[in-house]
Amino acid sequence: MAYDKFNILTSSAVPLPIENVDTDQIIPARFLKATERKGFGDNLFRDWRYNSDNTPKEHFVLNNPIYSGKILVGGKNFGSGSSREHAAWAVYDYGFRCVVSSFFADIFRNNCLNIGVLPVQVSPEFLDKIFKAIEGNPDTELEVNLPEQTITLLETGEQESFAINEYKKGNLKNGFDDIDYLLNIKSNIEEFAQNTPL
């Protein structure tokens, strides 16, 4: 699925200072039976966000109107557990374009990168600073600069750089997923197909 190009993102952020957030929390298994990739954002953090009678849980951060933005800041080991791609879909569909944490589970990181969500891994100290800054002022803005691979707290100018694989960086900058990449080299593929023995 195509997504918007990622270049420099400046936005306030939603804090979720919980460690080991697993994909079962991000999107519970009962929402996987769908035949469409639709509405996953509504079920993002479903059981943390809503009571069983579907009324919102007031204390959960996504239900608190003072927090908003396209960046989700999570605790260490974000996205662990089942490999379900639906977790990344839910994050994107809700409107987040970037997730910041001090550590990501491998498969979740890859799933994010492939659908246009940038996972930014920062040091535990910097993560702490971000949480504190948002706590002090919920409108605190972060700048995530993909070409430069930096993340900055705009209020204070404090900055850290982050790592990303060159191939994935190129994809995000161009708004490509793996399929777009492959479609771009389709003529190579077709030529290759003509010469396969099987």
86, β-bridge pairs: none
Residue 6 near residue 172, CB atoms below 8 Å: yes
DSSP 142: E
Among 8, 123, 173, 181, binds other proteins (CB under 8 A): 181
All residues at 6 or more sequence positions from 71 whose CB lies less than 8 Å from its CB, including other chains: 9, 11, 12, 13, 14, 96, 97, 98, 99, 100, 142, 144
- Binding segment (CB under 8 A) for other proteins, from list 33-41, 44-52, 53-61, 122-130: 33-41
In the bound complex, what is the minimum distance in angstroms from residue 183's beta carbon to other proteins? Answer: 6
The two most distant CA atoms of the chain are separated, in Å, by 64
- Binding segment (CB under 8 A) for other proteins, from list 11-19, 62-70, 130-138, 185-193: 185-193
In the bound complex, what is the minimum distance in angstroms from residue 67's beta carbon to other proteins? Answer: 30
Q: What is the contact mask toward other proteins in residues 49 to 88, using x (rule: CB under 8 A)?
A: ----------------------------------x-x---
All residues at 6 or more sequence positions from 9 whose CB lies less than 8 Å from its CB, including other chains: 70, 71, 97, 98, 118, 143, 144, 146
Q: Which is nearer to other proteins, 109 or 168 (CB)?
A: 168
Among 114, 119, 142, 153, binds other proteins (CB under 8 A): 114
In one-letter notation, the amino acid at residue 35 is: T
Number of residues that bind other proteins (CB under 8 A): 31
- Binding segment (CB under 8 A) for other proteins, from list 32-40, 42-50, 127-135, 153-161: 32-40
All residues at 6 or more sequence positions from 160 whose CB lies less than 8 Å from its CB, including other chains: 122, 123, 126, 150, 151
Q: Which is nearer to other proteins, 24 or 143 (CB)?
A: 24
How far, in Å, CA of 192 to CA of 77, rounded? 40
Q: Which is nearer to other proteins, 12 or 43 (CB)?
A: 43
DSSP 196: -
Residues that bind other proteins (CB under 8 A): 1-2, 33-37, 83, 85, 111, 114-115, 165-168, 177-179, 181-183, 185-186, 188-189, 192-193, 196-198
